[in-house]
Chain A
Amino acid sequence: MTRLPKAGLLLLVAVLVLSWGSVFVAAQELIKVGIVNLPPEESGYRQANVEDMTAVFSRENGYDAKQTNTADNSEQISAARGYIRDGVDYLLISAANATGWDDVLQSAKRAGVRVILFDRAIDTDPSNYEAALLSDMHYEGQLATDWILNNVPEPRNVILIRGQLGSAAEIGRSAPLLKAAEEGKLTIVADGTGGDTWSLEEARKVVEAAIAAGKDFNVIYAQNDGMAQGAVQALEAAGISHGKDGKVKIIGFDFNRFALRNVQAGYWDADVQCNPRQASQIDQWIKSGNIPKGIIYQEELILDTDTITDEHIEKYGINADPGKGVITR
């Protein structure tokens, strides 16, 4: 009877030592990461992005990560400085402003902190960071433009609804369409903008003005899902058919789940991805110790009524899912 407790004690000690050891090892192996990002309430995209960062750079995955979320560039810079002082191994940055980062990036380099930019590029010498994992807005625009050229028979009369003028997304997503128009492959019959807020209401007004002016059009190229929704509202009110079997083809951007459901239902025609989930790629780079140099673009998709599946919506969509078959008008 006395042997058993003794053996038990021995076992306990062994377990304790082992677990202590593993805790010790784990503490040593945690990779220290500082993440400087924009606030989640900025957009559905950012919410998915922040959520993804939190999920991937977790303790369970071997990271000791700290996040700062602010839309103020100078606050972002001082947060980055703080992380460098804390001695992080990696600094991940999605900058509010593309400029003003030279000093802090150089001091990171001096301190031996490896910098990876995600989602947003910074205007600085490429030697100041390791890699930048970005969405190629121009590629997204090309996907949508090619879709029009391949799926809409001539004449292709397009209403272009731009996002915030001068933003990277607006410039990139407009360029391929404008080029195709220049080459005579399609005609832009109305060129409007949803303004700085990528506003649904403004987009609706752009389409209403085109209808009032008696313009003939069969494609709406809206540079985000909310504006595509506003455009479709204008068509609905005017009794103009759209979607899979309709006259006007609707293209949106960003992969909001409501937009994907609308595509699935044939209420819209196509949607282009803007992938907010860069974390797993960066995680892979860090773990493999194999970080590429310079700007890397993410692979992105275009889905239309024929190619879309529930799995796509579940896996790649952002924001709330209205549920299968539910149309968001």
Chain B
Amino acid sequence: MLKPKTRFSNLSNLFLPLSVLAILIIINLIKGADYFRITVVNGAFYGNIPNILFGASELVILSVGMTLVTAASRGQDISIGESGAISSAIFVQYVLRSGNVTLWTILVGFLISCVAGIVIGAFNGTLVSFFNVQPMVATLILFLGGRSIAFIIDGKVSPILANEISNRIGTVIPGVPIQTPIILTAVFIVLVAMVLKATNLRLYVEAVGINPSAARLNGINPKRVIFLTFLIMGVCSAIAGFIAVNKAGRHDSVNLLKFIMMDAILAVALGGNSLGGGRFGITGSILGAYTIEMLNRTLLRLEVNPEAIKVFKAVFIIVLMIVASPVVRAFVTQALDKAKSIIAGSPLRQTGGTADATGRKGE
């Protein structure tokens, strides 16, 4: 139902993540043509693609929150991994203390952890929106101290989450052919899409991100909007922590979701979003997150030496960003036009000199 013009502009926003994704797929197909092969193992789909979707679930959820925070506050939340570690620690404690674990226990524990996430988001959001602390500085506090808090909640050990329901949330539910984290991520994406469709959130966030003063003059309270995006980020962190801890089967406060904010910020950038705030595209960030997961696995597939894998990742990202950048895109379009005009021109005029003249004329 979209007008052609909007559809076109959407596509051009997605040019960066899509082209990066395409490059990675080509590399993977060159390495082996069976890249997309999917088999069924124990009643669930198995293969490279399900592995990517499974592995990226936490990152996808976090990059959605990161996109909103970035767009509204013009900065990044670097405490998302720690926030997820704290809220999931609370979830684990609730489940372990409730004795008999039922679906109800897990659900209540999850909701409690979401509340914890909101509290953390409110803390960060208050610092950023009401005290005007720069987002990265405000969230640095929890980035540094968050894991100690999670460690204390854990009772100074890594508690084990060995119940059957948690295991099914982290792997597959018997009879369902898709791994549960993939389903949860899909549900999350649909919910976010519905919220953005049904509310004015996008308009408010973009207005505040583009120009907070202008937004205020138009009756939008920038402080409230920024605060709200941090609350959403808190919920995203709690959901990601919930998935991560159920996948891992135990709560390791030291390593759970460690340094994931790097990849989340990268996903936002790869998604074609400005890290300086303003207009944003959630689809791009989601594609960016899957692209990062695919990149990590591509490096493993190419059997890059473990010592060199980080260097390769950095070089890959830089090359991919440059190849897919608007500058190169404009250059390529121009070159293609030129080539077209040369090809179009050459059958008419026999000599090279005239073809040159056509080319120049094209310029």
Contact = CB atoms under 8 A, between A and B. Distances in A.
A72 to B, nearest CB: 12
A184 interface: no
A199 B250 contact: no
Given A205-B296, A206-B300, A209-B297, A165 B306 contact: yes
Interface in B229-247: 247
Contact of A328 (B47, B249, B258, B309): B249
B333 interface: no
A237 B148 CA distance: 32
A266 interface: no
A199 B48 contact: no
A237 B41 contact: yes
Contacts of B300: 192, 205-206, 208-209
A197 interface: yes
A165 B303 CA distance: 16
Interface residues of A, number: 42
Interface in B31-46: 32, 41-42, 44, 46
Contacts of B307: 165
A242 to B, nearest CB: 14
B160 A209 contact: no
A329 B297 contact: no
Contacts of A165: 306-307
Contacts of B171: 233, 236-237, 329
Interface string A199-210: 111001110110
Contacts of B148: 39, 41
Contacts of B345: none
Q: Which of A212, A226, A239 has the most CB of B within 10 A?
A: A212
A240 to B, nearest CB: 9
Interface string A226-261: 100100010011110000000000000000101000
B259 interface: yes
A239 B41 contact: yes
A296 interface: no
Nearest to A201: B55
Contacts of A201: 55, 247
B301 A209 contact: yes
Interface in B298-319: 300-301, 303, 305-307, 309
Contact of A192 (B151, B249, B306): B306
Contacts of A212: 47-48, 51, 301
B218 to A, nearest CB: 44
Contacts of A327: 162
A208 B48 CA distance: 8
Nearest to B298: A209
B151 A41 contact: yes
Given A44-B158, A193-B306, A320-B160, A226 B252 contact: yes
A322 B255 contact: no
A204 B179 CA distance: 15
A208 B296 CA distance: 12
B160 A213 contact: no
A47 B249 contact: no
Contacts of B167: 329
Q: Which of A39, A44, A51 has the most CB of B within 10 A?
A: A44
A93 B288 CA distance: 45
A17 B204 CA distance: 79
B119 interface: no
A205 B298 CA distance: 10
A41 B153 CA distance: 11
Interface string B163-180: 000010011000000010
A163 to B, nearest CB: 11
Contacts of B249: 229, 328-329
A165 B252 CA distance: 21
B159 interface: yes
A98 interface: no
A67 B230 CA distance: 38
A154 interface: no
A191 interface: yes
B258 A319 contact: no
Given A205-B296, A237-B46, A320 B159 contact: yes
B162 A328 contact: yes
Given A47-B156, A197-B255, A213 B250 contact: no
A208 B297 contact: yes
B157 interface: yes
A213 B162 CA distance: 31
B162 A238 contact: no
Contacts of A83: none
A183 interface: no
B332 interface: no
Contact of A326 (B162, B303, B309): B162
A237 B53 CA distance: 14
Nearest to A166: B307
B156 A226 contact: no
Interface string B276-299: 000000000000000000001100
A288 to B, nearest CB: 32
A195 to B, nearest CB: 8
A123 interface: no
B254 A41 contact: yes
B111 interface: no
B248 interface: yes
A199 B112 CA distance: 27
Contacts of A198: 255
Given A40-B156, A44-B157, A208-B300, 5 more contacts: A193-B309, A197-B255, A229-B248, A233-B171, A239-B41
Interface of A: 39-44, 47, 51, 162, 165, 190-193, 197-201, 204-206, 208-209, 212-213, 226, 229, 233, 236-239, 256, 258, 319-320, 322, 326-329
The 6 closest A-B pairs by CB, nearest first: A209-B300, A322-B160, A41-B151, A320-B157, A239-B41, A193-B306
27 contacts: A42-B254, A43-B254, A44-B157, A162-B306, A165-B306, A192-B306, A193-B306, A197-B254, A197-B255, A199-B258, A201-B55, A205-B296, A208-B51, A209-B297, A209-B300, A226-B252, A236-B171, A237-B41, A238-B41, A239-B41, A258-B250, A319-B158, A322-B162, A327-B162, A329-B167, A329-B171, A329-B249
